[in-house]
Chains A and B, each alone.
Chain A
Amino acid sequence: MPVIIASFLSGLIFGAGLLISGMTEPEKVLGFLDIFGAWDATLAFVMAGAVAVAAIGFALARRRGTPFLAAKYRWPTRSDLDAPLMTGAVLFGVGWGLVGICPGPAIVNLAGLSPPIIVFVAAMIFGMIGFELWRAQSTAGSAPESSNIASRADG
């Protein structure tokens, strides 16, 4: 139960950060990505603030050998650059650039139940399920490594 409360509060603060920063508004995001238009640098400030605080928080976490509510930290462990990483980043970049919404803001915006957001989140979940089906197909017959994938995920 404490893990569930901690996760909920973390999501709540994360969502508040997205709302306060303006990143739930696709126009703010597209304004940053539109470097040939009326450029809006706000997203860079959001990233700077988030990375600076997370870097301190993660350093404190590493100094403490184990998390407060779990047996161990699940830090991503991979360091190789592979084709799926880069292909995925390209596909995500195109989708993000088309409408200015990424997964975090999509879910926060879901609270407003506006039709475009419902369509986006439904399509995003379809895309994620499509990935699971594709992965199941491509790993069928080879050694099962699905238990590895979770701990190897980057984010």
Chain B
Amino acid sequence: MHNLTPFSGLLGGALIGLAASMLMILTGRLAGVSGVLGGLLTPRPGDRAWRVAFIAGLIAAPLLAALAGAPLPAPRMTSNMALIALAGLLVGFGTRIGNGCTSGHGVCGFARLSTRSITATLIFMITAIITVAIARHGFGG
């Protein structure tokens, strides 16, 4: 537990909840990032502007922080590009067929007490835990 940062975690989480509340109360839309992005890739026209604006807001957050002196995000992660590409494909396809990701199912779905979202969240959490266990320790969960 030596890396635990509970206060910044709670504060950051509260801001995420605030953002999701704001989007719903103001625009009636659910702040699920995979759904917002995926909606831009459908053949259906219409309702693209708000999606682009939300995505732009996400990208603008670290840029504004950089103006205030924070470094631009440079996440430490594996250098295995094939693995990264495979993970990206799985995340993209999986979140679309499963109708949501950590934000849509995890945050908004739990806040709505949705059976579907709670089920999906438990499944992807357990699957991710097993994946990390195999990748880092070489055994199943």
Is B54's CB under 8 angstroms from A10's CB? Answer: yes
Q: In whole angstroms, what is the CA distance A59 to B44 when docked?
A: 31
From A39, A85, A108, A119, B88 is in contact (CB under 8 Å) with: A119
Is B33's CB under 8 angstroms from A58's CB? Answer: no
Is B55's CB under 8 angstroms from A94's CB? Answer: no
Is A81's CB under 8 angstroms from B116's CB? Answer: yes
Is B97's CB under 8 angstroms from A84's CB? Answer: yes
User: In angstroms, how far is the closest chain A Cβ from the Cβ of B67?
Assistant: 11
Interface SS of A by simple majority? helix
Given known contacts A51-B17, A70-B28, is B76 in contact with A27 (CB within 8 Å)? yes
Is B76's CB under 8 angstroms from A26's CB? Answer: yes
List the A residue with the shortest CB-CB distance to B81. Answer: A119
How many positions in chain A have a CB within 8 Å of any CB in the partner chain?
A: 130
From A25, A38, A58, A71, B112 is in contact (CB under 8 Å) with: A58
Is B93's CB under 8 angstroms from A127's CB? Answer: yes
List the A residue with the shortest CB-CB distance to B112. Answer: A58
Is A7's CB under 8 angstroms from B57's CB? Answer: yes
List the B residue with the shortest CB-CB distance to A79. Answer: B115
Is B120's CB under 8 angstroms from A51's CB? Answer: no
A-contacting residues, B88-129, CB 8 Å: 88-112, 114-117, 119-121, 123-129
Within 8 Å of chain B (Cβ to Cβ): is A143? no
Is B88's CB under 8 angstroms from A15's CB? Answer: no
Is A9's CB under 8 angstroms from B27's CB? Answer: no
List the A residue with the shortest CB-CB distance to B6. Answer: A45
Interface 1/0s, chain A 25-62, versus B by CB < 8 A?
Answer: 11110110111111111111111111111111110110
Interface 1/0s, chain B 126-139, versus A by CB < 8 A?
Answer: 11111111011100
From B3, B55, B61, B88, A123 is in contact (CB under 8 Å) with: B88
Is B17's CB under 8 angstroms from A21's CB? Answer: no
Give residues in B with beta carbon < 8 Å to A.
Answer: 1-6, 8-35, 37-39, 41-44, 49-51, 53-66, 72-79, 81, 83-112, 114-117, 119-121, 123-133, 135-137
Which 10 pairs from chain A and chain B are nearest by CB? Answer: A155-B104, A88-B98, A57-B21, A11-B57, A127-B92, A21-B12, A155-B32, A93-B127, A49-B13, A123-B88
Give residues in A with beta carbon < 8 Å to B.
Answer: 2-28, 30-31, 33-58, 60-61, 64, 66-76, 78-81, 84-117, 119-132, 134, 136, 146-147, 150, 152-155
